[in-house]
A and B are shown apart, each in its own frame.
Chain A
Amino acid sequence: MKVLVAVKRVVDFNVKVRVKADNSDVDLANVKMAMNPFCEIAVEEAVRLKEQGIATEVVVVSIGSSAAQEQLRTALALGADRAILVESAEDLTSLAVAKLLKAVVDKEQPQLVILGKQSIDSDNNQTGQMLAALSGYGQGTFASKVAISGDSVAVTREIDGGAQTVALKLPAIVTTDLRLNVPRYASLPNIMKAKKKPLEVLTPSALGVSCACTVHTLKVEAPAARSAGIKVKSVAELVEKLKNEAKVI
């Protein structure tokens, strides 16, 4: 079966971003960018399904600027077979991305679509669920285990109190949680080979999707800074401060 994986180019997870002086957005000029960590887990899961002989083809798709080709090449180096970039310079909402992905799903007809559970920039945690709604497919969000048998997939999900397993009819949408797998690194020969793999570039208008959105960002501010704390010398001093100064115990 065919597996479609969506990946996003985001700021590297180790970078502590700063807000621009005019409060319009965070400053991403000259900041290291990378594949969203949850998307790496999604690519890894798809490649493992291929190695197990379950998936026959792994297609990666990204939506964004042409720079996102870099992350698609990374996914190809990790084992994906071909890539699709839906090029858009605009800042798209999750719903717009889900609509574009729906158009790609209609075109490619995958049996399984794997996305990360959230991107570490917007922290929305929406796209997978929205794509599932638009396509009418079942959704297995926050997956820590994915087991395909016949025409269904059993997804073990991380929920607030523990773990839950649901069975979904294929085709289905899965979003990855941290503990689904440990992504591999791309080897140098595979990085070289990835340069020759096919990468198709599409546009939202070619897919017939308009990206009008109903939510707009008015401003972006730095969070309130905490006032500097103090270092105590002993446990006794700590307990004394917590009891008499902070009054929290």
Chain B
Amino acid sequence: MTILVIAEHDNKVVAPATLNTVAAAAKIGGDIHVLVAGLGAGAVAEAAAKIAGVAKVLVADNAAYAHQLPENVAPLIAELGKGYSHILAAATSNGKNILPRVAAALDVDQISEIISVESADTFKRPIYAGNAIATVQSNASVKVITVRATGFDPVAAEGGSASVETVAAAHDAGTSSFVGEELAKSDRPELTAAKIVVSGGRGMQNGDNFKHLYALADKLGAAVGASRAAVDAGFVPNDMQVGQTGKIVAPQLYIAVGISGAIQHLAGMKDSKVIVAINKDEEAPIFQVADYGLVADLFEAIPELEKLV
């Protein structure tokens, strides 16, 4: 068995989710190859070659792959993937965008967001916003899978010495083009990789009040997240949303502030090791999953908490 892992990157650095995906591949067992498709991604290929457990890195460097447009990248992966037993990618917005297109090109079903590997063909994945866990088995010739990063501890980024091989194949479907992007800038740790996450909800009342959470987060070295209510109300940008349709996090500590705890929000954070809820409504559903609950006005509790930690 040989497994192809699609590297998640921005042409400059390897995203941490790639390490979790390699960890899932290692659980399946077999040789692990990593594909770096991009433009001018030499540094990414070098970093990928150092990932523990990786046997070979394939580099497809072409202008058509610069922004990982699925119309161009998916045919490349499908062509290379025919010789592999498994094709894995992280369940990031890129992985979710590209991999189903690969699966359809190979005429196989895809398995989304696995959280555990039972055997080489059997996997567990959450359904119904995480309210049920399905065990699924695939008899596809090539198993195409996206991996939920929080389900697997990352492998070491250093220690490997894989060979690097260039792939010449160029696919340019000509049906799509990149126009532009606006990326949110933040000095705080990345939400999905942070050890501590502080999240605010509707109870924050406005965007300005999030400064209290930022202050607390900076003291804890934490990332800041939000519920859908806070995003929809325009308090914070939508890439901060934690939940079924936003980011899935599983930090050591998750502090939910002014968040009621709707099913869709819990889907994104209930695998956190320790959950703290601060809410003035003692009936809020969030208290049912919280390890430590504090019924208090957040505008008094958060500054006090910031002082004490």
Residues of chain A touching chain B, judged by Cβ–Cβ distance below 8 Å, are: 11, 13-14, 16-17, 19, 26, 93-95, 98, 117-118, 120-134, 136-139, 141-142, 144, 154, 157-169, 172, 177-179, 213-223, 226, 229-236, 238-239, 241-242, 246, 248-249
- With A130-B100, A220-B127, A220-B134 in contact, is A239–B109 under 8 Å at CB? no
- With A218-B137, A239-B309, A242-B276 in contact, is A160–B92 under 8 Å at CB? yes
Q: Evaluate contact between B181 and A129: CB separation under 8 angstroms.
A: no
Interface of B, helix, strand, loop or mixed by DSSP: mixed
25 A–B contacts from the bound complex (CB under 8 Å)? A11-B128, A13-B264, A14-B263, A93-B109, A98-B104, A118-B245, A121-B127, A123-B113, A129-B97, A133-B102, A139-B70, A139-B176, A141-B70, A142-B97, A157-B93, A165-B179, A168-B175, A178-B238, A179-B232, A179-B238, A215-B136, A223-B131, A223-B270, A230-B291, A235-B301
Contacts of B100 in A (CB 8 A): 94, 125-130, 133
Distance in Å: Cβ of B65 to nearest Cβ of chain A: 14
Cα distance A137–B104 in the bound complex, in angstroms: 13
- With A121-B127, A158-B238, A231-B295 in contact, is A138–B110 under 8 Å at CB? no
- With A95-B109, A130-B103, A172-B175 in contact, is A17–B131 under 8 Å at CB? yes
A224 closest partner in B (C-beta): B133
Contacts of B276 in A (CB 8 A): 238, 242
Q: Which of B41-99 contact A (CB under 8 A)?
A: 67, 69-71, 74, 92-94, 96-99
Q: How many residues of B contact A (CB 8 A)?
A: 89
Contacts of A16 in B (CB 8 A): 131, 263
Query: Would you call B196 an interface residue if the criterion is a C-beta within 8 Å of the partner chain's C-beta atoms?
Result: yes
Q: Evaluate contact between B93 and A133: CB separation under 8 angstroms.
A: no
Partner of B304, one of A177, A226, A235: A235
Q: Evaluate contact between B137 and A216: CB separation under 8 angstroms.
A: yes
Partner of B104, one of A95, A168, A222, A246: A95
Q: Evaluate contact between B134 and A219: CB separation under 8 angstroms.
A: yes
Q: Evaluate contact between B290 and A229: CB separation under 8 angstroms.
A: yes
Query: Would you call B169 an interface residue if the criterion is a C-beta within 8 Å of the partner chain's C-beta atoms?
Result: no
Contacts of A157 in B (CB 8 A): 93
Distance in Å: Cβ of A103 to nearest Cβ of chain B: 14
Contacts of A159 in B (CB 8 A): 93-94, 181, 239
Q: Evaluate contact between B184 and A161: CB separation under 8 angstroms.
A: yes
Q: Evaluate contact between A162 and B122: CB separation under 8 angstroms.
A: no
Partner of A139, one of B71, B178, B293: B71
Q: Evaluate contact between A246 and B274: CB separation under 8 angstroms.
A: yes
Contacts of B180 in A (CB 8 A): 164-165
Q: Evaluate contact between B245 and A242: CB separation under 8 angstroms.
A: no
3 residue pairs, one from A and one from B, having the closest CB atoms: A129-B100, A133-B104, A138-B175
Cα distance A158–B240 in the bound complex, in angstroms: 11
- With A229-B293, A238-B276 in contact, is A133–B126 under 8 Å at CB? no
Query: Would you call B294 an interface residue if the criterion is a C-beta within 8 Å of the partner chain's C-beta atoms?
Result: yes
Distance in Å: Cβ of A221 to nearest Cβ of chain B: 5
Q: Evaluate contact between A215 and B109: CB separation under 8 angstroms.
A: yes
Q: B102-143, CB under 8 A of A: which get 1 and which 0?
A: 111101111111000000001000111111111111111000
Cα distance A235–B94 in the bound complex, in angstroms: 40
Contacts of B264 in A (CB 8 A): 13
Residues of chain B touching chain A, judged by Cβ–Cβ distance below 8 Å, are: 67, 69-71, 74, 92-94, 96-105, 107-113, 122, 126-140, 173-184, 192, 196, 220, 228, 231-232, 237-239, 244-245, 247, 252-253, 263-264, 270, 273-276, 282, 287, 289-296, 301, 304-305, 308-309
Distance in Å: Cβ of A180 to nearest Cβ of chain B: 11
Partner of B244, one of A94, A123, A239: A123
Q: Please indicate which of the listed interface residues A120, A169, A215, A234 has the most CB atoms of chain B within 10 Å of its own CB.
A: A215
A125 closest partner in B (C-beta): B96
Distance in Å: Cβ of B243 to nearest Cβ of chain A: 10
Q: Evaluate contact between A249 and B92: CB separation under 8 angstroms.
A: no
Q: Evaluate contact between A133 and B220: CB separation under 8 angstroms.
A: no
Distance in Å: Cβ of B36 to nearest Cβ of chain A: 18
Distance in Å: Cβ of B195 to nearest Cβ of chain A: 8
Q: Please indicate which of the listed interface residues A118, A121, A232 has the most CB atoms of chain B within 10 Å of its own CB.
A: A232
Q: Evaluate contact between A215 and B137: CB separation under 8 angstroms.
A: yes
Contacts of B103 in A (CB 8 A): 95, 126, 130
Q: Evaluate contact between B93 and A223: CB separation under 8 angstroms.
A: no
A246 closest partner in B (C-beta): B274
Cα distance A119–B182 in the bound complex, in angstroms: 27
